[in-house]
Amino acid sequence: YIMIGDKPDLQNLASNMAESMSLRDVQYLNTVGDKVQFLGLVVEKILGGFAVSVSQALVKEIVEDAGVASCRRMAAVPGAKERIIDETMLDATTHRYYRVQVGRLLYLVAWRADLQFTVGQLSRKVGAPTVGDGAPLKKCIRYLRKATRHWIWGQRLGWHGGSPLREWRSAC
């Protein structure tokens, strides 16, 4: 659980919850800069609220499984913008890979509005993906590799990249 409030109230609530369920590793974010990792998310205390971001380990795992971790940007090749239309069904191994990657991306997009539409379109094909559906998945993962710093602000709920502390100080 993530609970926000005064520390004495939270301690009381945590002790009451501990009676009915087993709580472990209760952490309090008191000062600016305190961080905690929770279910693949990083919650950081900032001035005026909290910043929630996806753990870089999850992003790194998605990118490495796709094999695009060390790709360099290439010059445009003729026909690169053409859409691949191949309605051949994927074999069982590639279909499993597609399902796993889209599942990871679905978990990630709750915190990344820039990927929500694309991952939603990819998830529509999970039941029966084709060879042509692999290209948009790879393109989405390549974008994720480049654009890794996006947060939701705990109080303002605005999207920002870069350092949350620097952005917050410049906004005040």
pLDDT digits (tens, 9 = 90+) for 10-68: 888 888 887 777 777 777 787 888 888 877 788 888 887 888 878 888 888 888 888 88
State the alpha helices, DSSP H only, in the chain: 7-20, 56-66, 92-108, 116-123, 134-146, 164-171
Tokens for 82? 């053409």
pLDDT attached to residue 58: 84
Instruction: Identify the three-state secondary structure at position 85.
Output: coil
Confidence of residue 100 (pLDDT cuts 50, 70, 90): very high
Q: How far apart are CA 119 and CA 105, in angstroms?
A: 7
Tokens for 130? 């084709």
Q: Are strands 35-38 and 41-46 parallel, antiparallel or unpaired?
A: antiparallel
**Percent of the chain clearing pLDDT 70 (strictly above):** 75
Residues 6+ apart with CB under 8 A from 41: 52, 53, 54, 55, 111
CB of 100 closer than 8 Å to CB of 58: no
pLDDT attached to residue 149: 60
Global confidence as pTM: 0.66
pLDDT in tens, 128-172: 998 888 888 988 888 888 876 655 444 444 444 444 434 433 343
Q: How far apart are CA 141 and CA 9, in angstroms?
A: 42
Cα separations in angstroms, 4 against 8, 63, 83: 11, 33, 47
Residue 72, pLDDT above cutoff 80: no
CB of 8 closer than 8 Å to CB of 44: no
